[in-house]
Amino acid sequence: MALLDIDVVKRSLDEARQARQRAEELSRSELAISESTNQAVLSVAPDGKITMVNPATEKMFGYGRDEVLGQPLEMLLPESRREAHAGHLARYFAAPESRPMGANLNLNGRRKDGEEFPIEIALRPIETAEGTRAVALIADLTERKQAKQALQESRAQLSLASQVAGIGTWDWNIAANETVYSPEWGPLYGLPSGAALRPEEWRAAIHPDDRKRVQNELKLALDGGKPYITEFRVVWPDGTVHWLIGKGEILRDPAGRSVRMLGANMDITERRSREEELRASEAQLQALTASLFTAQEDERKRLARELHDDFNQRMAMLANDVVTLEKELPPDSARRLRAQLKSLRAKVDTLSDDLRGVAYRLQPPALEHFGLVAALETLCSEFSKNYRIKLKFLHRRIVPTLRGEVALSLYRVVQESLNNVAKHSAATEVIVSLERTKHRIRLSISDNGQGYESALQASGLGLVSIRERIRVVGGAVRIDPGLGSGTRVEVEVPLEEAAS
């Protein structure tokens, strides 16, 4: 019986020694891990004394290893937390287990220099040769908290900006057909802040005249045809109509199916109202400009008729009187007197031709009777003859029945451009081109001169006249007054405007 007791004791001692070796191996393993990790790791005995720290702990708290070993763990906590923490630690060792410590308690650590910083602690018990130890893994939450605070501030700023700008956002889960709206979205539809609508209710809120278009644009975006951005009207519950702009981004699964759509709406009622007012003002201005041009052309016609019917006839009568006087002179009249009468008759004929030219330029009869091409051919021919500048007139596929205002406007553009070439460009060659494309009438006047940018800036009435004339008939003008490389005037008028 005594021998049996000795064997039992020996076995017990062997088991204790093996357990101690396993504990020591585990302790060395834990220590090796703590030394190799970047996370702060320390161990604490049941009496609250620190038994191990790794380099990351020294770096985090600013203490050297020798300064903390054997010291109470509370030295690493703010003074306000030390007393309570000692109680927490005692309760932990009463029932040790792996768990976070101080969850939701907003724990802070305290560095050697007194700075406090947010931390998070995870605890796990280990058995060592010296008994149970609590290993603490400590995370510095400073950067995380700063990032969280920055995110919160950013969201607050975004929310404030959305309120100020009147922007409401939405997040549509397409598969579940559920939408989450920001608080600012509801008021855009005349609803309370935070209100929500099902997709079919949203479509019903759109103005009937815009509903089909918006639905088509949304479908195109969902199918991948084009980005979703649209302007549309909504009818508020009180019956008032408001303009919104909507823009969305679609998220797709790996198969390319639309699964989610993020978007925003903004009220543009005021902007659209200003645009409508501006368009109305522009329409009034355009009508006034057209009236002024009409009055100008009427005055040109009056002057042309007066020159042709009155002054030109009077000049013809004067020329006839000179011829009659020349015939009635006695045969023995002085040769010098006859020469003077002959010179006077030539001047009268020249003046009469000039008057006819002025009348033609004021109101070319060829434009009314034979069309734009014939009138431009005559204009270009006379320009080349008068200024001795080579001019090539090209035309192709011109509509025979150009609307009168369009034909007259194009004629005046060529006329004004040729005047500028003669006055300012020092060109030796000019090309006038008139053609019809599928949808437009195109006119261009280009020369090889020195350009007349400065002259045009100084006497810009010609340019204003060109631009306004073409704007009145729905066209556009581009003028390239190049320096040293010639000038090019390009005009385009929509074909439906030109032929209507």
Total tally of structural domains belonging to the chain: 4
Helix boundaries (H) for 252-364 = 269-306, 312-328, 335-362
So what's the pLDDT on residue 106?
74
CATH number of the domain bearing residue 177: 3.30.450.20
Residue 286 has pLDDT above 70, yes or no: no
Residue 203 has pLDDT above 80, yes or no: yes
Q: Which residue has the higher pLDDT, 236 or 27?
A: 236
Q: What is the mean pLDDT of residues 438-453?
A: 84
So what's the pLDDT on residue 301?
62
Give the Å distances, CA to CA, from 297 to 10, 283, 453. 130, 21, 28
Candidate ranges 15-24, 306-315, 353-362, 433-442; pick with highest mean pLDDT: 433-442
So what's the pLDDT on residue 151?
59
Token pair for 83 = 């007393």
Lowest mean pLDDT: which of 79-83, 270-274, 287-291? 287-291
Give the Å distances, CA to CA, from 434 to 150, 177, 376, 405. 64, 57, 10, 16
Q: What is the mean pLDDT of residues 5-21?
A: 56
Which of 305, 337, 363 represents a domain boundary (last residue)? 363
Residue 210 has pLDDT above 90, yes or no: yes
So what's the pLDDT on residue 5?
55
User: Are residue 52 and residue 120 in the same domain, yes or no?
Assistant: yes
So what's the pLDDT on residue 233?
94
Q: How far apart are CA 22 and CA 25, in angstroms?
A: 5
User: Are residue 253 and residue 226 in the same domain, yes or no?
Assistant: yes
User: Are residue 281 and residue 211 in the same domain, yes or no?
Assistant: no
Q: Which residue has the higher pLDDT, 404 or 362?
A: 404
Residue 409 has pLDDT above 70, yes or no: yes
Q: Is residue 253 part of a domain?
A: yes
Domain residue limits at 55: 29-140
User: Are residue 372 and residue 410 in the same domain, yes or no?
Assistant: yes
Q: Which residue has the higher pLDDT, 459 or 262?
A: 262
Q: How far apart are CA 135 and CA 60, in angstroms?
A: 16
CATH number of the domain bearing residue 463: 3.30.565.10
User: Are residue 124 and residue 103 in the same domain, yes or no?
Assistant: yes
pLDDT digits (tens, 9 = 90+) for 253-263: 888 888 998 88
Phi-psi region for residue 484, left (φ > 0), alpha (ψ -120 to 50) or beta? left
Report whether 89 contacts 67 (CB < 8 A).
no
Which of 198, 233, 267 represents a domain boundary (last residue)? 267
Report whether 451 contacts 425 (CB < 8 A).
yes
Q: Is residue 447 part of a domain?
A: yes
Q: What is the mean pLDDT of residues 437-464?
A: 74
Residue 23 has pLDDT above 50, yes or no: no
So what's the pLDDT on residue 353?
64
Lowest mean pLDDT: which of 169-173, 275-279, 287-291, 313-317? 287-291
Which residues lie below 8 Å from residue 263, measured CB to CB, with a gap of 6+? 169, 170, 172, 228, 246, 247, 248, 249
Candidate ranges 23-27, 277-281, 465-469; pick with highest mean pLDDT: 465-469
Q: What is the mean pLDDT of residues 76-94?
A: 85
pLDDT band at 113; cut points 50, 70, 90: very high
User: Are residue 54 and residue 67 in the same domain, yes or no?
Assistant: yes
Query: pLDDT > 70: what percent of the chain?
Result: 72
Residue 370 has pLDDT above 60, yes or no: yes
So what's the pLDDT on residue 86?
78
Which of 267, 293, 312 represents a domain boundary (last residue)? 267
Q: How far apart are CA 342 and CA 110, in angstroms?
A: 121
Q: Is 141 helix (H, G, I), strand (E, B) or coil?
A: coil
So what's the pLDDT on residue 97?
85
Q: How far apart are CA 116 and CA 65, in angstroms?
A: 20
User: Are residue 197 and residue 286 in the same domain, yes or no?
Assistant: no
Q: Which residue has the higher pLDDT, 492 or 16?
A: 492
The Cα angle at residue 396 between residues 393 and 398, in degrees rounded to 5: 105
Name the average pLDDT for the chain. 78
So what's the pLDDT on residue 458?
44
Q: Which residue has the higher pLDDT, 438 or 111?
A: 111
> Model-level pTM?
0.42
- Count of CA atoms in the C-beta half-sphere (13 A) of 336: 0
User: Are residue 298 and residue 391 in the same domain, yes or no?
Assistant: no
pLDDT digits (tens, 9 = 90+) for 38-84: 689 999 999 989 999 999 999 999 999 999 999 999 899 998 888 88
User: Are residue 88 and residue 171 in the same domain, yes or no?
Assistant: no
Q: Is residue 14 part of a domain?
A: no
Residue 211 has pLDDT above 90, yes or no: yes
User: Are residue 410 and residue 500 in the same domain, yes or no?
Assistant: yes
So what's the pLDDT on residue 26?
46
Q: What is the mean pLDDT of residues 403-419?
A: 86
Phi-psi region for residue 133, left (φ > 0), alpha (ψ -120 to 50) or beta? beta
Q: Which residue has the higher pLDDT, 241 or 9?
A: 241
Residue 133 has pLDDT above 70, yes or no: yes
User: Are residue 136 and residue 208 in the same domain, yes or no?
Assistant: no
Q: Is residue 83 part of a domain?
A: yes
CA 286 to chain centre: 29
Q: What is the mean pLDDT of residues 180-192?
A: 89
Q: What is the mean pLDDT of residues 291-320?
A: 64
Q: Is residue 346 part of a domain?
A: yes
User: Are residue 402 and residue 444 in the same domain, yes or no?
Assistant: yes
Report whether 132 contacts 119 (CB < 8 A).
no
